[in-house]
Amino acid sequence: MTLTSPDPGTSPHRELAAPRPRGGVVQSVNDSLVIAKRNVIRLSRIPEMLIFGLIQPVMFVVLFSFVFGGSMMIGGSTSASDYRNFLMAGIFAQTVTFATAGAGAGIADDMHKGLIDRFRSLPMARGAVLTGRTLADLMQTALTMVVLAMVALLVGWRTHTSAGEVLAGFALLLLLGYAFSWIGALIGLSVRTPEAATSGGLIWLFPVTFISNAFVPTENMASWLQPIAEWNPFSATVQACRELFGNPGVSPSDAWPMVHPVWASLIWSALIILLFRTLSVRKYRGADG
């Protein structure tokens, strides 16, 4: 085997530099799918991550359904079954958004262990690492939603529309979860430890989910809180799912997102993905330099 020496005018540091990432949409998609597959395989080898992720939403379903169900008035009725049907869209939406904390913690953990630095040394699209991670989180969220829907059916939740509309409702939920996972990605890239990413990923989710129409009608809130809740992206998806599931609720306000919740949900999710994906990839590239 013959070794060739570098040209006299070539810096040895340049010979050791990381290969330039390959461009092109197809290559970026392939790289993203490879990273997604890696994270899905990792999840299958650590099943307790999925099990623990299921416990919290199941607890919320049981607690809200049987502890608070009889004391909540929905559309003039205090029926526990009516509140249960009203509640489930909010529980589904809360579940997909709370997955944000896990996404941020996973990326922060990869950063902490140096795995991201290894990916940077490969000739791959820079955004593929983050896209693959968020796609894997989306798959985990979809599996969680299937199990949660079965639990909801067991406690008495029912839909009253066609199968296509029900599937459209779940598609909106997954789109919202994917959008919020990019917020988690930015948080994971911005902190130093997985613990900080978990805390940072949860602290802002509580006001987003509770100042909304998820658990109580917005008309029961203080007057100054109602516009905030009605223009909350989370509320738009919840309201859209209630309409698509055919679940009982209250008459929507005159706020545009409540009158056109499906469109509002799509627009909000698209804007969140566009903004936070751009910021996350820029943050990733900045750390690369």
Residue 244 and residue 161 in contact, taking contact as beta carbons nearer than 8 Å: yes
Does the residue 6 lie in any domain? no
pLDDT value at position 191? 85
Q: What is the pTM of this model?
A: 0.83
Q: How far apart are CA 164 and CA 183, in angstroms?
A: 29
pLDDT value at position 203? 87
Total domains, the chain = 1
- Measured CA angle at 99 (ends 94, 103), to 5 deg: 155
Does the residue 115 lie in any domain? yes
Q: How far apart are CA 101 and CA 103, in angstroms?
A: 5
Does the residue 93 lie in any domain? yes
Does the residue 21 lie in any domain? no
Q: How far apart are CA 197 and CA 195, in angstroms?
A: 5
Residues 6+ apart with CB under 8 A from 73: none
Does the residue 95 lie in any domain? yes
Residue with tokens 């919020």: 180
What does the pLDDT profile of the chain (289 residues) look like in tens digits? 444 444 544 444 444 444 455 556 777 788 888 878 877 777 777 777 777 777 877 887 777 777 766 566 666 555 667 778 888 899 999 989 987 877 788 788 777 777 776 776 777 777 788 888 888 888 888 988 998 898 888 888 889 899 999 999 999 999 999 999 999 889 988 887 888 887 887 888 889 999 999 888 888 888 999 999 999 999 999 999 999 999 866 666 789 999 999 999 999 999 999 999 999 988 887 765 4
Nearest Cα neighbor of 131 from 168, 101, 103 is 103
Domain assignment of residue 47, given as a range: 26-288
Does the residue 30 lie in any domain? yes
- The CB density around residue 253, as the number of other CB atoms within 10 Å, is 17
Does the residue 8 lie in any domain? no
Does the residue 16 lie in any domain? no
- The CB density around residue 116, as the number of other CB atoms within 10 Å, is 21
- Dihedral through CA 176, CA 239, CA 264, CA 98, nearest 10? -20
pLDDT value at position 5? 47
pLDDT value at position 24? 65
